[in-house]
């Protein structure tokens, strides 16, 4: 069965803000309660695109060839896997032997393939989210688990509509239509990013922020953000500090250890919570979420 409404923010991730799968949402300056099935999704968001030979050559030249050498075979496998269903379908149509069952299976694969892959990565991230919600970051000391975690959060950062639309708006050449190539490019970028973070992991630390105030952390349709970047300014930042709210009362900071004075687990003030909530709201594209209607009313004027 084709998965029509495809989520670019995991429902599992959003559940801590929901009650009976209902969550408060701010969209188009309106605040309302919505079911988790009906937010942060789009019809066929991850549907594979029909890549032209020119698209594939540009992906090889400007993405794969610029990646670390040991990752290039993996990237080429992504390119081959994500282009194969369209190649089979076009070949079947070309020779005029289109079996209706085969065609239906190919259409389903084109619609669902990346969505299924994203779900697999979500599943790999879940144990780390649960661990952090319970106050533990012990997994980061294990190389294999740290590698899996850093790749998973890199994918979460790049999988959203906010990032996709930002890239499409900014990249005008050499791709004629970078939207067609984004399925592949996003995973190449996430893999490179995850590897870079893993290779430099000794210089970074995970800090868990405990929110004991009456102001809950909110989240949004871009839940993982670089708090060192200002979304209101068109300026390239070289700093990196991932902020990732985990639930209304806890959040993660992933930052350079040398630039951070906090303990591995720290309580923060209501003023700091408000600061991070403003960052989440300003980094959102269309939707901001909370477990409390009032917290969205407070943040409404800062978007």
Per mean pLDDT, which range of 64-68, 229-233, 276-280 is the poorest?
229-233
Contact 193, 75 (CB under 8 A): no
Q: Which residue bears the tokens 């200002």?
A: 230
Q: Are strands 241-247 and 250-256 parallel, antiparallel or unpaired?
A: antiparallel
* pLDDT recorded at residue 111: 97
Q: Does the structure show a pLDDT above 80 at 233? A: no
User: Mind giving me the DSSP string for the chain?
Assistant: ----EEESS-HHHHGGG-BTTEEEEEETTEEEEEEGGGSSEEETTTPPP---HHHHHHHIIIIITTS-GGGHHHHHHHHHHHHHHHHHHHHHHHTT---HHHHHHHHHHHHHHHHHHHHHHHHHHHHHHHHHHTT--GGGGSHHHHHHHHHHHHHHHHSSHHHHHHHHHH--SS-S-HHHHHHHHHHHHHHHHHHHHHHTGGGEEEEEEEE-SSSPPPEESS-SEETTS-TTS-------EEEEEEETTEEEEEEEGGG--S-SEEEE-HHHHHHHHHHHHHH-SSEEEES-HHHHHHHGGG-
Q: Band the pLDDT of 295: cuts 50, 70, 90.
A: very high
pLDDT digits over 39-84, tens only? 999 999 999 999 999 999 999 999 999 999 999 999 999 999 999 9
pLDDT digits over 8-27, tens only? 999 999 999 999 999 999 99
Q: Band the pLDDT of 115: cuts 50, 70, 90.
A: very high
* pLDDT recorded at residue 132: 98
Indicate whether this model's pTM tops 0.85: yes
Radius of gyration of the chain (CA): 20
Q: Which residue has the higher pLDDT, 261 or 255?
A: 255
Edge-to-edge order in the sheet of strand 225-226: 225-226, 241-247, 250-256, 204-211, 265-268
Token duo for residue 275: 């600061």
Contact 220, 283 (CB under 8 A): yes
Q: Does the structure show a pLDDT above 70 at 1? A: yes
* pLDDT recorded at residue 98: 73
pLDDT digits over 120-165, tens only? 999 999 999 999 999 999 999 999 999 999 999 999 999 999 999 9
Determine the Cα–Cα distance for residues 87 and 82; give it in Å rounded to an integer. Answer: 10
Q: Band the pLDDT of 301: cuts 50, 70, 90.
A: confident
Question: Which residues are within 8 A (CB) of 60 and not within 5 positions of it... i.e. 6 or more apart?
Answer: 76, 79
| Over residues 236-258, mean pLDDT | 90
Q: Band the pLDDT of 236: cuts 50, 70, 90.
A: low
Determine the Cα–Cα distance for residues 6 and 246; give it in Å rounded to an integer. Answer: 22
Token duo for residue 267: 């309580």
* pLDDT recorded at residue 290: 98
Q: Does the structure show a pLDDT above 80 at 263? A: no
Q: Does the structure show a pLDDT above 90 at 200? A: yes
| Over residues 84-99, mean pLDDT | 88
Contact 253, 209 (CB under 8 A): yes
């Amino acid at each position: 069965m084709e998965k029509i409404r495809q989520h670019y923010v995991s429902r599992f991730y959003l559940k801590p803000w929901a009650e009976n799968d209902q969550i408060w949402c701010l969209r188009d300056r309106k605040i309302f309660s919505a079911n988790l099935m009906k937010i942060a999704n789009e019809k066929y968001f991850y549907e594979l695109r029909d890549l032209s030979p020119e698209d594939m050559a540009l992906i090889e030249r400007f993405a794969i060839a610029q990646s670390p050498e040991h990752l290039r075979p993996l990237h080429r496998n992504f390119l081959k896997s994500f282009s194969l269903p369209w190649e089979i379908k076009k070949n079947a149509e070309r020779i005029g032997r289109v079996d209706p069952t085969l065609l239906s299976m190919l259409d389903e694969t084109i619609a669902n393939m990346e969505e299924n892959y994203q779900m697999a990565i979500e599943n790999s991230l879940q144990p780390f989210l649960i661990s952090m919600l319970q106050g533990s970051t012990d997994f980061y000391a294990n190389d294999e688990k740290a590698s899996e975690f850093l790749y998973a959060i890199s994918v979460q950062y790049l999988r959203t509509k906010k990032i996709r639309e930002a890239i499409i708006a900014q990249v005008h050449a050499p791709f004629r239509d970078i939207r067609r190539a984004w399925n592949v490019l996003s995973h190449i970028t996430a893999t490179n990013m995850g590897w870079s973070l893993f290779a430099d992991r000794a210089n970074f630390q995970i800090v868990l922020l405990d929110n004991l105030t009456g102001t809950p952390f909110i989240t949004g349709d871009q839940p993982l953000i670089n708090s060192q970047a200002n979304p209101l300014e068109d300026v390239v930042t070289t700093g990196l500090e991932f902020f990732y709210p985990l639930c209304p009362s806890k959040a993660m900071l992933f930052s350079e250890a040398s630039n951070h004075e906090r303990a591995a687990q720290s309580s923060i003030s209501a003023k700091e919570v408000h600061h991070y909530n403003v960052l989440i709201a300003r980094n959102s594209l269309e939707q901001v979420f909370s477990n409390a209607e009032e917290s969205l009313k407070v943040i409404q004027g800062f978007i």
